Each structure stands twice: as C-alpha cells, then as structure tokens.
Amino acid sequence: MWHSGGMARRYYSTQPFLAWCLSHFFYDERHFAYVGAPFHPYKRSNPGSSNPWKIYGAQYEPWYDRDPYDAQVEQKRRNLRKGVAFQAHALGPALEYTLAWICENVDQAFFMPIVYVVDIDSIDPVRLHKSGSALLVPSDEYTVGDLSEDEFEVLFFDSETDVAANDTDLRALGAAIDGVDVVAPADALDRLLRRCT
C-alpha cells in the first residue's frame, strides 16, 4: 500500500467473517470498522478494546474451539444485530428480521476473525471519527462507518490452509475477498440460513 507521500500509514480492524459477509452482500459493500494502529500496539496508549492483535487472538481461540458460550462470541452476535438494526431503513422488515436471526443463530464457523488493513491517508478526514475509548485516552484509533471494499485489504482469510476454516460455505462466500465474486446475495442468504441452528 503506497500513497503519494510514500509508505502508507496502515490501520487495522479485526472483524468476524460474518460482519464482512453482511456488509458485502447486504449493505452495498460498505463496512463499519473501528481501526487502530499499529496491529500490535504494545506499550502504546491503545486500550485492549482498540488493540487489533488482542482482539484477533480473543476471537480466534473460541472460533477455533467452536466454544458457543464464549463471551466474545456472544458480544459479537449482539454487535452484529445492532448493525442490522442500523441498516434497517435500507433492508426492509423481512430481510432485517432474517439477518438479525442469522446473527443470533448462525454456525460459529462464520465468526472466524479476519483483519481489514486500511491506508488511513486514503480516507477523507471527514469520514474519520474519534469515538469510544479514543475519547478517553490518547489512543491511535478511528471509527469509519462506510469503508468501501477498495479502501482496505483483508488478512487472515485462509480457508485453504487453516484447517478450522476449511469450510465450503466460507470459501464460497469469501471468494470475493480474492476478487472472484461467485455468490449472489440471495445465494449468500440461503447459505447462511442453512447454517443456522
């Protein structure tokens, strides 16, 4: 990632794969993200809630172990439902209800953590907001409510070599991460619904 001034200033956001799916297929490819820098802000002022490395580890272990009672997973499910409610005006009542139900009931495989890498200098400063812990401590983080998919790269979507991610639906839904969109929104919805309990 380069910009006209030289090397990019990279910021990172750890997301459950389901968040990427919802944004890609149902929110017009617009992603909500808390982004922080660097990826591992050891001995920096970023609190744990703004530390992409810690968040990745906290999400990876219960995802790998498929621990349905993990507090991190439950919190992610709640946050994703809030995101669906925020998008309600564009979704319509039936799709809003269905996506909220998916957030609550979909197989834990869809909570595989992935990381968005954002060149922060490529984002218009009016779109960068300080919120949450960034208002309390001098933390190096922003909230971006409308990241388009050409404004970030995805790391750690590794369904070929990570045995815990070797899942037909994950591979099909995530193909667009590598630039090959093989699933339409209706098919994505069917795949997610089939994986609900």
pLDDT in tens, 126-158: 999 887 666 666 677 888 999 999 999 999 887
Answer for the pair 156, 182: CB distance below 8 angstroms, yes or no.
no
Q: Please report, to the nearest 10 degrees, the dihedral formed by the alpha carbons of residues 34, 22, 70, 78 taken in order.
A: 80
pLDDT single digits (tens) 53-101: 888 999 999 999 988 889 989 999 999 999 999 999 999 999 999 999 9
pLDDT reading at 1 higher than 60: no
Q: What six digits make up the tokens of 98?
A: 């269905």
For residue 28, the number of C-alpha atoms closer than 13 Å in the C-beta half-sphere is 8
Type of residue found at 86: F
pTM of the model: 0.89
CA distance 15 to 19: 6
Rounded distance, CA 112 to CA 158, Å? 10
> Average pLDDT, whole number, for the chain?
87
- Most confident option among 37-41, 152-156, 157-161: 152-156
Checking if the pLDDT of 16 tops 70, the result is yes
pLDDT over threshold 60, residue 24? yes
Mean pLDDT throughout 93-119? 96
Q: Residue 2 pLDDT more than 50?
A: no
